[in-house]
Amino acid sequence: MKLEHITKAYADKVIFSDFSLELPKAGAVTLMGPSGCGKTTLLRILCGLETPDNGLVETENAAIAVVFQEPRLLPHKNACDNLRIATGCSEQQACELLQDLGFDPTDCKKYPAELSGGMQQRVSIARALLFGGEIYVLDEAFKGVEETLRKQLIERFKKLSQNALVVQVTHQRDEAELLGGEIITLAADPCRVAQREICG
Amino acid sequence: MTHSITQSKTTAKSIIKFLLAALFWVGVWELVYLLVGHDTIVASPWQTLLRVIELGSQGNFWLICLKSIASIVVGYLCGIAAGGLFAVLSNYCTGAQTLLSPLLHVVRATPVASFILLAYFWMQTKNIPAFIAFLIVLPIIWGNTHEGLRSCDPQLLEMGRVYGFSRLKTLWQIRLPAAVPYFLSGCRTALGLAWKSGVAAQALVRPDNTIGNELQNAKIALETVDIFAWTAVVIVLSVLLERTVMLIFDRVRKPRKGASS
C-alpha cells in the first residue's frame, strides 16, 4: 500500500502537503500523534472515504475492513443481523463470534440502542473480523472496550497481521506495543512522519 | 406496575380534559344557535345529533360512507405509492430529480379547485375524488420521503461503502429505514388533507352516493341540519380513519426497535 505526494486541505487548513508513505502488504502499523495531526484523515484516504486533492493512493484493490471510532451499526437491526448484513456470514457464525467477544446469547438479538457503548463497539469489531480482507483499519477501535477483552482483541489482530496489513490509530502507547510491528509517529501542520520505530 | 398505574391515570386525566374542552365548545355552539335563533343559518348540537342518528338508521347512509371512504382511500394509497417511488427515483437519479421537481412544485401550488374542475373534463365523476386525493397526497409523501432519504446518517453510508453495500442494499438497509419517520409523518399529514379535499371534490362534482353529494343536496334544499349532520359524519370518519391508519403504522414500526446507532 502506497501513498505518494498526497496533498489534502480543508478550506484554509492544509492537512497533507506532498506526503508520502509506504506500508507493507502484511504486518502491523500503528499511527500515533497529536489530535488533529491528520491520522484519521490518513485512514480515510487509505479506505477510499476521502480523495486527496493531489497525489496517488495505491491499495491494489485490496478488501478493507474498517473499525470506525463510532460503532456505526444499523439501528433497526439486532447485533447478529448487523454482522450478517455487512459481511454475508451466517447467523451461527455471527453469534459464535459475538459470544467469543463476551456477548450472552440473548445479547446477540439485542438492537444497538439496547447495548452499551462498549458492546456496540465490540459488534463493530466483530463486523471487521468477519468481513476479513487484506487490510484491517482500526481507528481508535478499542475505546470503551473493557481492559482484558481489549488485550485479547489486539492479540487477535496481531495474529491477523501475519497475513494481512493491520493499521491502527491510537493515543494509547500500550495498544501500539501490544499490536507490535511498526509505530509511526506523525507531526502536525502539515502532517508528516516524525518518527518510525519497530516495537516488539 | 407503578409506572402503568401512573400512565393510565395520566391517560384518564387527558381524556377528561379533552371531554371538558369539547363540552365547552358544544356549549359555545349552542349559545351561537340561541343567539342567531334561525335554524336555516345554524343548527343546534341537539338537532345535529338527532339527525346523525336518523341518518345512521337508513341503510343508504352506510353505503354512502363506505363509498366515500373507499374512493378517497384508493387515491390516498396510490398517492403514497407514487410519492414514495418518485422520492426514491429523485434521490437516486439527478435527471429524475430535475425532471420531476417542476411537476412537484406545480402540483403543490395549483389550487385544489382548479384540479377538481379540470378533472371534470378528463374523467368520470366517480373517479374524481380519488384523483384529487392522489394529487394532494403525492407531493406531501414525495417531499417528506425525499427529505428522509437525504437526511440519513452519513456515517452509516460510509460504513455501507466500506463494507461494499450495493446501491439496492444501501437503499434498503440504510436510506429507507432513515426515511420511515419522515414517510409516516407525511402519511399522517396527507390523510387529513386527502379526506377533506376528497369530500370537497365530491361536493363539487357530485358522484352518486357520496358524502360530498349529500352535502350539496342539503345545501340546495336549504337543509342546514343536514349540512351540520353530514359535516359531523365527515369529522367522525376522519378521526376513525386517522386512528386506523396510525394503528397500522404503529404495527409497521414496532419491530424497528432502537432509533439511533
Interface ipTM: 0.90
Nearest chain B alpha carbon to A109: B257
A 52-81: CB under 8 A from B: 63-66, 68, 70-77
Residue B259: predicted pLDDT: 43
Taking the C-alpha atoms of residue B74 and residue B67, their distance in angstroms, rounded to an integer, is: 11
Residue A143: predicted pLDDT: 86
Residue B116: partners with Cβ closer than 8 Å, 6 or more residues away: B128, B132, B200, B201, B204, B205
Residue B2: predicted pLDDT: 58
Q: How far is B169 from chain A (nearest CA, A)?
A: 9
Which strand ranges, in their side-by-side order, compose the sheet holding A135-139? A64-67, A135-139, A165-169, A27-32, A181-187, A192-199
pLDDT < 50 stretches in chain A: none
- At A88, the amino acid letter reads G
Residues A111, B173: C-beta atoms closer than 8 Å? no
Residue A179: predicted pLDDT: 92
Q: For chain A, give me the number of helices (H) and strands (E)? A: 6, 9
Residue B261: predicted pLDDT: 38
A 5-34: CB under 8 A from B: none
| Ramachandran area for residue A161 (φ above 0: left; ψ -120 to 50: alpha; else beta) | alpha
Beta-bridge mates of residue A66? A137
Nearest chain B alpha carbon to A62: B162
State CA B139 to chain mean position distance. 13
State CA B237 to chain mean position distance. 11
Output b/e per residue, B34-65; b: 16+ Cβ within 10 A.
eeeeeeeebbbbebbeebbeebeeeeebeebb
Residues A47, B162: C-beta atoms closer than 8 Å? yes
C-alpha distances (whole Å) from A68 to each of A49, A85, A107 are: 12, 17, 21
The tens digit of pLDDT for each residue in B68-90 reads: 999 999 999 999 999 999 999 98
Taking the C-alpha atoms of residue A181 and residue A164, their distance in angstroms, rounded to an integer, is: 12
The answer to whether A28 and A182 are in contact (CB under 8 A) is yes
pLDDT < 50 stretches in chain B: 258-261
User: Which residue's C-alpha cell is 447467523?
Assistant: A91
Compare CB distances from B258 to A47, A70, A113 and report the shortest one's residue: A113
Task: Return mean pLDDT, chain A.
Answer: 91
Taking the C-alpha atoms of residue B202 and residue B141, their distance in angstroms, rounded to an integer, is: 23
Residues A74, B162: C-beta atoms closer than 8 Å? no
Give which of A51, A69, A74, A123 to mutate to test B binding, by max B Cβ within 10 Å: A74
